[in-house]
Amino acid sequence: MNAYTETVLTPAGPFTFAVDDSGAILWARFDNGTYRPTDAEERALQSFTLREDPARTARAAEQLREYTAGHRRTFDLPVILDGTPWQQSIWTALQRIPFGETRTYAQLAEMVGRPTAVRAVGRANATNRIPLIIPCHRVIGASGSLTGFAGGPQLKAALLEHEARVASGQPLSTDAPASTAVGPATGSDRAWQTRLI
């Protein structure tokens, strides 16, 4: 199976994503993030051949550029969500957290009708392979701490700050990354192929 990759600059730095033949998002990661692959993720990736095809990645790249520029608050992209029904219920709930807002893990548990399943919510949130598009960065600790983001707290902070500025109508930082695509992932950038979220 083919996977087509591209890297786009975002408020949290370079973001590499992969789509299938139809343009559906397969996985994504922040290039500056810290990720540990699971055995299942590594085995799943072994069946993919990474390719470059800007026509297949164009829709996702454009929406990511719009997000970075402050012109998009939600994504309208097909995604491939392989997971248990529980995981999928959490990933669906994540998409209902409004732009510029956060929820605690306990609030997310309540959103899916399982208020005592806070730890299970955290585990399902951590298995999200499509950060930013499936906005797991909007979930915070009960104390307001930036916990549980596989890419690292600095990336989560950058995304939340960006969304807060856009939501409040403040101008975007002049030191934010440009809203242009970096291009297809090549060479050493492909090392991430076995490092999913």
Clarify whether 137 is annotated catalytic. Answer: no
Q: Of 28, 108, 136, 140, which is the active-site residue? A: 136
Helix (H, G, I), strand (E, B) or coil at 141: coil
| CA dihedral angle for residue 58, residue 74, residue 29, residue 13, rounded to 10 degrees | 90
| CA dihedral angle for residue 183, residue 174, residue 66, residue 145, rounded to 10 degrees | 100
* 79, 25 Cβ separation under 8 angstroms: yes
Greatest alpha-carbon pair distance for the chain in Å reads 45
Q: Which residues participate in catalysis according to the annotation?
A: 136
